[in-house]
């Protein structure tokens, strides 16, 4: 028997939930103190939490709180559902433009939540693990964080390619039609290539 090809990949741990937070810059002393008080962890620019089983999960207030305390990105995986949350300064004009791209299909899709001086963008997805391995290597969390650092820069510059590909993949059920974005940015093309649509 001959082996014709080998495809590398990875699988999610279906009995646990993981959350990783990434800060693009250094936390201020006040932010560090607040993070330590909230989590009991020593504050670093990369925080990681892993929980085993259905009965154990991150406290519900932590994600949004940490995303207002200097962390710019949260990447999470739970039972094969992946999500990326981005924390951006609240820009009413950008928030208004993003609203038309909100979409949802079985917890996958895009949504926007504004609170105070921040807006939290949610990207929920299931991944094609073969394509994700080819793109990110063995660490999908860091790979997605790096990809969404580029997405964040594009959004702040007014390029909505990434939210359009969320509509393309998981939308189509909304009353309002989202405005197509063409051409897609390179990061949006990458995002499109690693997402699975069941």
Q: pLDDT tens, 127-161? A: 999 999 999 999 999 999 999 999 999 999 999 99
Nearest-5° angle of CA 91, CA 163, CA 45?
Answer: 65
Map out the domains of the chain as residue ranges.
Answer: 16-196
Phi, psi for 163 (deg, rounded to 5):
-75, -30
The sign of the torsion formed by the CA atoms of 102, 107, 108, 112 equals positive
Phi, psi for 154 (deg, rounded to 5):
-65, -45
Q: What's the predicted TM-score (pTM) here? A: 0.90
CB-based contact 116:90 (threshold 8 Å): yes
Q: pLDDT tens, 58-87? A: 999 999 999 999 999 999 998 889 999 999
The rounded distance, in Å, linking the Cα atoms of 46 and 21 is: 6
């Amino acid at each position: 028997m001959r082996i014709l090809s080998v495809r590398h990949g990875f699988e999610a741990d279906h009995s646990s939930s993981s959350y990783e937070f990434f800060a693009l810059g250094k936390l201020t002393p006040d932010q560090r103190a607040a993070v330590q008080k909230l989590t009991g962890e020593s504050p670093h620019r990369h925080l990681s939490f892993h929980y085993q089983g259905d009965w154990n999960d991150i406290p519900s207030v932590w994600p949004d709180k940490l995303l207002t305390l200097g962390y710019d990105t949260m990447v999470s995986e739970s039972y094969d559902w992946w999500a990326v949350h981005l924390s951006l300064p609240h820009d009413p004009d950008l928030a208004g433009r993003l609203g038309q791209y909100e979409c949802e299909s079985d917890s996958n899709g895009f949504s926007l939540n504004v609170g105070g001086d921040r807006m939290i963008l949610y990207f929920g997805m299931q991944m094609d693990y073969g394509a994700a391995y080819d793109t990110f290597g063995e660490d999908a969390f860091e790979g997605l964080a790096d990809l969404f650092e580029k997405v964040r820069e594009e959004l702040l510059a007014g390029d909505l390619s990434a939210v359009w590909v969320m509509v393309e993949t998981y939308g189509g059920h909304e009353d309002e039609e989202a405005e197509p974005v063409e051409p897609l940015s390179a990061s949006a093309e990458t995002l499109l290539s690693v997402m699975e649509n069941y």
